[in-house]
Structure formats: structure tokens, C-alpha cells
Chain A
Amino acid sequence: MSAVRKDREEMRGQALRIMQALSGADEELLERCGRKTMQRRRGRQRSRMFSGAWAAALCLAAVGAMSWGGYLLIWGENGGTEGGLAGMPQAIELGAAEDTGGTEQKEGQEGGTETGTERETGAGKLPEEAAGGAEENALSESSGDTAESVSGDGSGQAKEDLYQDAQESKNGAATEEEGCPVLRSLEYTEEEARALPVLSAYIPAQLPQGYTFEGAYVNQDIAGDNLTITWSRGMDSLILSVTTEAEAPATVDTERPEIYDERFYSLPYGETVPEEYRESFDNPVFALEDFTLETVRSRVLVRGEGDTDTPRGNFSVLYPGNVLVQFNGRGTPEEIWEMFGSLGQDSR
């Protein structure tokens, strides 16, 4: 055995001791890391932001459950290309308000025998994908996950039908190999995704030029509504992940750009970004009312030598109703801004 190999074996042996020592990790920490989403600190902005949003939601709820058709009509007035960005926040807010007062449709699904098109997204057909649902169920002690979806009624029937068809066809295709549980996710076509209740409102109608749809899926191992949708353009990609959060994540204070603005720092960020800013810097969450073209510019840029000419970046935007839209991809800040401006336009 060569000296190098012997050294490596020795190092692995020592590393194994560390790994064995980790077996004694506190249950509390292990349980925490088993959750699908992390607890985020509640920012001081949260109360400020949500007092307004909730007040708006309550007012709208008091007016009565708005019909889907009325909702679409309002979208038509506010969310058109002319309304552009000015219409976006209002339109989304109205959508969220309707969710509050709308009709709830629950589809019970047993956690243990949950159905769906099981797609193995990892390194092939390996039993390792058992981790997702098995652990979530094991640690949560819940006997059955209930997938809850909220939908409008009335003139959205066609979309509802499309959604139901997609669900049925996927449920019919459910398989689970013996001993090989897999990641439980439902894959959708773009059309199906755009017919999903609630979250389809957060799929942009307008994308940076040249992008084509690649895939959309709903992860059934996550308790809340969620949808991840991707587009690609050659080597460029765009990923939007929409989730409903049980608790509002902390949003960044846009008066303190040093905590999220990448233009303040040089690469490698690990050496230049102060430790205390890293969490917000890695994935800042902007409250909808603070979200501007300037914030997009602060996060979407060409980084360092060797990068392509297309700017890239990531950030999240928090919409009323704790709907979090996470962006990761490439495009000019203006294109990304316009894309966010078109959220919901296609749901008419």
C-alpha cells in the first residue's frame, strides 16, 4: 500500500471517528434537521408588513368571497401588460385575499400509501430516495399527510378539470417498488402547472427571451402547497419555486443593502461577506412592497471572470398569505423584473 493511500486510509479512519461521534448528536438537533423547511427568524419587518397585508385581506374577505370570474376580471384590469409592475402586487394580494375567503377543497391522501407519479430525481433508481417521506413521517409522528389544495370555483372549472385530470392520471400511475420507496413528487406539464389552484397565480406569463419550459413538479413530501418550475435556454436556466409557508420568513431590511446586495462584495463571498450577514446574503427574502428593480439589480449580476455574459442570481419574494416565490436563474435584471411583473397574468 502506498504511503499516500495509507495516509488516506488513516484520515478516513479518523473521519469515521468524527462520524461515529455524531451519533450522539442531540435529538433536538436531529429532529430539527428532519423538517423539510427551516425555521427562519422573524424579522422586525414582519409585523409591519403583515399588519397591512392582513388588514387588506380582512377587508376584502368582509366584502365577501369573490368569485373566480370576478377575480379574473380584476386581473384583467390590473394585471395586463399595460398595468405591468404597478398591477402586480395588487393583483397577487387580491388573489391571496380570495384564498382566505374562497372555497376550500381538500383531497385526503394517506401519508403511508400516498399516491402519485413517483419520479426518481436523484441518482437513478436507488432505495436512498426512501429518506424523504419515510423520515418525514417517522419524525413527525403524523399518521397521514393531508395534501390540501385550495381552488376557486365558477368559471375556473376548465382549469379545475385539467388539474383533476392530471391528478387522476398521475394517481393511476402510482407505483412503489417493494423496498424501494422513492421521492414522492408529481410532475406536471406546463399546461397542467398553470391549471393548479393557488400556486399557478405565481407562474410568470412572461419570461426572458428564449427560455422554454423544462419541467414542473410538486413535492408531496412537503406539507404545504409547493410548486417548482424550471425553464432553460441553452446552458441558462430559470427556477421558480413557490411555496406556502406556515410561518412568514424573515424579510430583509432594504434600507440596509449591505446585508443582501452582492455589489458590495467581491468574490469569494466566503471571505468578504461578514458572518452575520451570510444568512440573508445567501438567500434574501424581499417583502413584496420592498421589491423593486433596484433590488433585482442588487442580486442579479455577472459574477467574476469565467462567468457567462448573462447575469445570474437568486432571491425570494414574499407575497401576502405567506406565499414565498424563490428565484434562481439567469437573465438581465430588467428581464427578471418584468418576469416578476407578469406573475399571475396567465392565470386568467
Chain B
Amino acid sequence: MRDTEILDLYWKREERAIAESQRSYGKYCYSIAWHILYDREDSDECVNDTWLRAWNVIPPKRPGKLALFLGTITRNLSLDRWKEKHTMKRGNGEMTLALDELAECVPDARSTEDAVEAAELERMMNEFLRTLPEKECNIFLRRYWYVEEYSEIARRYGMKLNTVKTSLFRTRARLRAYLEREGVVI
């Protein structure tokens, strides 16, 4: 079923919208959740919550790219779930590694400035991504949006593992420099 048809179902408040979403994007959303949570049950729950969340916001929303819209919901839910789990000392998997890498990008806190607002940080991240060459940007997003392993990224793009690592290393350094230049305190 096409996106527009699924969206029509949501707008008509037909519950079949959820089944169709699951059918078309279930695996996609599950893979996003899995990469972050590394837990089958939690991933399933996040995916199920995704449909519920989508049901609640469509309408009035009518997303242009349903896959990315649903994927982003899953991602946010999964990050929240991960945080919850992590607080309970149950966190594990690729997510921890990815976070440790991203921690390299955190600029030094210099003063008593307030931490940058989430929306502002989001805008800055987008601006930063726009400065990256396509290859670096793609690799960065695969790693830190989808939380994919290096080997998966290398396979996806037909690259050497070391090239992926080097690219990410450089991009992280650039991100740190960018955030520092912008005077961001996280």
C-alpha cells in the first residue's frame, strides 16, 4: 500500500492504518529500535508505541515521508527507553559505544551559560550536517541516527571498515570544533 493510502486510512480513523503501517514499515522501525535497545521485547514495544503515537498525531499531521516520520518516532521512543533502561543499569549494545564516541564531540563547558535548548541544538546539528560532504554525512547518520555498526555501514556503502572509522573520527572532530565555535554548552 502506498504512503498516501496509509495516510488516508489514518485520516479516516480506520484502524487498518496501523496494520498497514506495521506491514509496510514494521521491519524498518524494528531495526531502528533494535539498534538502540538491543532487546527484542523493548524493540517490539517501541514499534507498537510508534503506531499509537502516529495514530494520535495523524491527523492533523500529514507527513511527507511516512517512513522517516515513523522511523523518527521509533527512534525517539527507543532513545527514551534506552535512557530509562540505562538508569536502571541495564543498558548495553551498540548504543553505549556510539554514545561514548559522541561524547568526544561534547565541548568543554566554559562558564555558567545555560545549556543550549533542545530545539536550538537540533537546528545546529542540521546546520552542521549540511556542511558535511555527502559521504561523511551519510556515514555519520548511519552511525548516530541509526546506530549501525561500523561493519554494517561499510557493507552498505561498499567501503573499507577503516575508511568508515576514519570518516567518523574526522566528522566527530569537526562536530566538536563546530559546537565549540558556536559556543554550545550541552
Could you tell me which A residues sit within 8 Å of B by CB distance?
8, 11-12, 14-27, 29-33, 36-39, 121-123, 126-135, 137-139, 141, 179, 181, 183, 219, 228, 241, 243, 270, 279, 282-283, 314, 326, 328
Contacts and interface: CB of A to CB of B under 8 A. Distances in A.
A23 B141 contact: no
Contact of A18 (B121, B126, B130, B134): B121
B157 A128 contact: no
Contacts of A33: 137-139, 141-142, 145
A127 B43 contact: yes
Contact of B155 (A8, A31, A121, A314): A121
A139 B71 CA distance: 10
Nearest to B156: A36
Interface in B99-119: 99-103, 105-106, 115, 118-119
Contacts of B169: 270
A14 B106 contact: yes
| A16, A32, A122, A126: residue with the most chain B Cβ atoms closer than 10 Å | A16
Nearest to A221: B156
A131 to B, nearest CB: 4
- Give me the 9 closest cross-chain CB pairs, A-B, nearest first: A134-B27, A24-B122, A138-B28, A15-B102, A130-B31, A11-B103, A33-B138, A138-B67, A131-B31
B126 A179 contact: no
A179 to B, nearest CB: 7
B181 interface: no
Given A11-B106, A24-B122, A123-B149, A134 B34 contact: no
A19 B144 contact: yes
B30 A32 contact: no
A128 B34 contact: yes
A36 to B, nearest CB: 6
A15 B99 contact: yes
B90 interface: no
A187 to B, nearest CB: 14
Given A36-B156, A131-B148, A326-B158, A19 B141 contact: no
A14 B107 CA distance: 10
B117 to A, nearest CB: 10
Interface stretch (B11-19, B49-57, B159-167): B159-167
B35 interface: yes
A36 B19 CA distance: 27
Chain B contact residues: helix, strand, loop or mixed: helix
B79 A20 contact: yes
A20 B106 CA distance: 14
Contact of A19 (B98, B126, B129, B166): B98
B92 to A, nearest CB: 13
Contact of A122 (B105, B135, B152, B163): B152
B186 A12 contact: no
Given A29-B129, A29-B137, A138-B28, A270 B166 contact: yes
A31 B65 contact: yes
B126 A134 contact: no
11 contacts: A11-B103, A12-B100, A18-B102, A19-B144, A24-B122, A30-B68, A33-B138, A33-B141, A36-B157, A122-B151, A122-B152
Given A33-B141, A122-B152, A135-B28, A27 B64 contact: yes
Contact of A141 (B2, B30, B160, B175): B2
Given A22-B125, A31-B68, A219-B155, 14 more contacts: A14-B103, A15-B106, A18-B175, A20-B79, A23-B72, A33-B145, A121-B155, A127-B43, A129-B31, A130-B28, A130-B31, A130-B34, A132-B156, A141-B67
| B44, B137, B175: residue with the most chain A Cβ atoms closer than 10 Å | B137
Contacts of A121: 155
A167 B75 CA distance: 37
Contacts of B121: 17-18, 21
A42 B147 CA distance: 30
Contact of B105 (A18, A135, A326, A328): A18
Given A32-B134, A141-B2, A27 B163 contact: no
Given A139-B68, A141-B3, A38 B134 contact: yes
A3 to B, nearest CB: 16
Contacts of B32: 131
B24 interface: yes
A33 B134 CA distance: 8
Nearest to B2: A141
